Amino acid sequence: MVHNIDVAKILYEVADLLELQGVGFKPNAYRNAARNIESMTKELDEYRKTNNLRDIPGVGEAIAKKVEEILATGRLHYLDELKQQLPAGLLQMVEVPEIGPKTALHLYKELKITDVQELKVAAEHHRIRSLKGFGERSEERILHGISLLEKRSGRMLLGYAYPVAERVREYVAEHAQLKLISLGGSLRRMKDTIGDIDILAGSNDVKKVMDSFTSYPEVDEVVERGPTKAVVRLKDGTQVDLRVVEEEAYGAALQYFTGSKDHNIKLRSLAIDKGWKLNEYGLFKKDLTEVVARRTEEDIYKALGLKIMPPELREDRGEIEASLNGTLPNLIELNDIKGDLHVHTVASDGNATMEEFAWACKKKGYEYLGITDHSYGLRVTDGLSVERLRGNIDIAHNVAKRVDGLKILIGAEVEILEDGSLDYPGDVLRELDFVIGAIHSKFNMDSDAMTKRVLTAISNEFLTILAHPTGRKLEQREPYPIDLEKVMLAAKSAGVCLELNAFPERMDLNDVNCRMAKEIGVKIAIDTDSHSIPQLDYMFFGVATARRGWLEKEDVLNTLSLKELVSFLSA
Ligand SMILES: [Zn+2]
Ligand SMILES: [Zn+2]
């Protein structure tokens, strides 16, 4: 059955589309009807048995006919027609709290912006403020609106949720003078998207912890405050849950609330094998009278005959077996990273200069920085002509004179064209220190064609790294169909690396893909794809995803020292 709410939704869409087309009066008529249908207490299907649809306020003959069609088919032909007349992404843009139909149409006409993603890029690169009637503040409001919209999907990106959660955790730790406090759940396991922000504290002074938590300056509303659990909503709309347990049971609670569920199930069955019982309060002898372990996580794992493993591994993907056998991987750490090999400067679509990036990387203790502005095929982001690419090489020489102790490698993020060729000629690519190949267009090829396209690029003698290999954008775009195993096998034999792009929306390759790369033996480059200086910090999340993929230092290209990297590049 078609529900009233679905009928209303279609009528609202019609209204938005008509408004986008600049039609007067009609949009309001559709909206009015939609509102009245939405607020009816009876389902339309029921209602029309005894009444005429035209008795509903705001529903005239034309709209009644359309409602009949929706009730009969679940669709509206008229809506499909309207949709074909304007880019579909414009409707999605209207969902952004700051964007009404008029604004969307204006942005489409003036800046050719057709969807939320393009809107975000335009606002980030300050292309909107120059329009009449817009300014710096409107760009900020648009970006804020987009972030609210993204949260509505229910899952948050790790790169955005983690810093928010860490700030709360640090605040409570300091104000309640707490040592036992940690992020929990998928956030502690560093999954690329997370559902909730959970924080766990161990303290025998619950009131003090709760008071600190609810007094955090960013709190907009205390949603719930119980004896051991509180929930707040921050000013940016994020919800944070805090749970407080007694100090002596903190380890058991932390283990339990970190999960994952599958990991915990397996752990519980190990306990049962020993005649014990494991729950969020501790590891107990079967009748629950005697505690075996509960103060720390280590105590619990040890009692079960296991070596504790980092939270990133706790997904029941073989980590318990590896722990029993003593074959846990020695996971890569942020400190192992010696440089970033995917960065965009002001020469293409970045907003910092090469020199600014160089100083920031030097400050991080990196040995090298790879500059990879876009090639000219990508006209939307101001790709570099061959002449301007050579200009980058000159800039690098100058920057090198001022920033010592950091090697600047000049590369490019080159388009992989539809036939798999790269969009700079070989004699230009030869002048570069390294080459990243990437797909940014023509995503809708079938798996065979896409795989062939990428294999052709991999066979290009100049390709060093295949960037964001599946093209996914979290919560926005599915990966394109591609045979990753074939791609990895080819990359391995060609000596090409695959990228783990650490940009929060991408995180591509993902953890599972990384593990596959490791098993096949293809090297991974963990890059940030930074377009600004703060984005260099995304490396932390890239390394976290690599750890979830069981990667060790040796599996990653940019853990090489400069000397080792140079010899790799010249091989
Ligand atoms: Zn790219
Ligand atoms: Zn890039």
| CA 340 to centroid of ligand 2, rounded, Å | 12
| CA 371 to centroid of ligand 2, rounded, Å | 10
pLDDT for 152 equals 62
pLDDT for 379 equals 52
Ligand closest to 508 (CA) is 1
Q: What is the mean pLDDT of each run of 10 residues along the chain (571 residues)?
A: 86 88 86 87 86 90 94 90 82 81 87 89 91 89 83 79 96 96 97 93 96 94 91 86 97 97 96 95 89 96 97 97 96 98 92 95 98 77 83 92 95 95 93 96 91 98 97 84 97 98 96 98 97 95 98 98 96 81
pLDDT for 442 equals 87
Ligand closest to 529 (CA) is 2
Question: How would DSSP label each residue in 376-431?
Answer: TT-GGGTPBPHHHHHHHHHHHHHHHHHSTT-EEEE--EEEB-TTS-BSS-HHHHTT
pLDDT for 236 equals 75
Q: Which domains does the chain have, with CATH numbers?
A: 4-85 (1.10.150.110), 154-245 (3.30.460.10), 248-328 (3.30.210.10), 334-570 (3.20.20.140)
Euclidean distance between the first and the last CA atom of the chain, given in angstroms as a whole number: 65
Ligand closest to 438 (CA) is 1
| CA 342 to centroid of ligand 2, rounded, Å | 6
| CA 343 to centroid of ligand 1, rounded, Å | 10
- As a whole number of angstroms, the distance between CA 423 and CA 417 comes to 7
- Bridge partners (DSSP) listed for residue 497: 465
- Helix (H) or strand (E) holding 517, with range, is helix 511-520
- As a whole number of angstroms, the distance between CA 94 and CA 78 comes to 19
Contacting residues for 445 by C-beta, under 8 A, at least 6 apart: 418, 453, 480, 481
- As a whole number of angstroms, the distance between CA 431 and CA 410 comes to 9
pLDDT for 381 equals 54
- As a whole number of angstroms, the distance between CA 103 and CA 141 comes to 13
| CA 104 to centroid of ligand 2, rounded, Å | 27
Which tens digit of pLDDT belongs to each residue from 427-437? 999 999 999 99
Which tens digit of pLDDT belongs to each residue from 462-519? 999 999 999 998 877 789 999 999 999 999 999 999 999 999 999 999 999 999 999 9
Ligand closest to 530 (CA) is 2
Contacting residues for 434 by C-beta, under 8 A, at least 6 apart: 341, 370, 409, 411, 464, 465, 569
- As a whole number of angstroms, the distance between CA 498 and CA 500 comes to 7
| CA 27 to centroid of ligand 2, rounded, Å | 41
| CA 466 to centroid of ligand 1, rounded, Å | 10
Ligand closest to 439 (CA) is 1
pTM of the predicted structure, to 2 decimals: 0.76
Query: What tokens were used for 529?
Result: 């794809």
| CA 488 to centroid of ligand 1, rounded, Å | 19
- As a whole number of angstroms, the distance between CA 539 and CA 535 comes to 8
Q: How many helices (H) and strands (E) does the chain have?
A: 24, 18
| CA 361 to centroid of ligand 1, rounded, Å | 20
Question: How would DSSP label each residue in 140-202?
Answer: HHHHHHHHHHHHHTS-EEHHHHHHHHHHHHHHHHHHTT-SSEEE-HHHHTT-SEES-EEEEEE
| CA 413 to centroid of ligand 2, rounded, Å | 6
181-183 and 197-202 beta bridge pairing: antiparallel
| CA 437 to centroid of ligand 1, rounded, Å | 8
Cα 506–Cα 510–Cα 515 angle in degrees, nearest 5:
160
Long-range Cβ pairs for the range 212-217 (8 Å, 24+): 212/171, 212/172, 212/175, 212/176, 213/168, 213/172, 213/176, 213/242, 215/175, 216/168, 216/171, 216/172
Task: Convert 155-182 to b/e letters by CB count within 10 Å (16 or more is b).
Answer: bbbbbbbbebbeebbebbbeebebebbb
Give the residue from 245, 246, 310, 303 showing the smallest Cα distance to 277: 303
Residues with CB under 5 Å of ion ligand 1 are: 438
| CA 468 to centroid of ligand 1, rounded, Å | 7
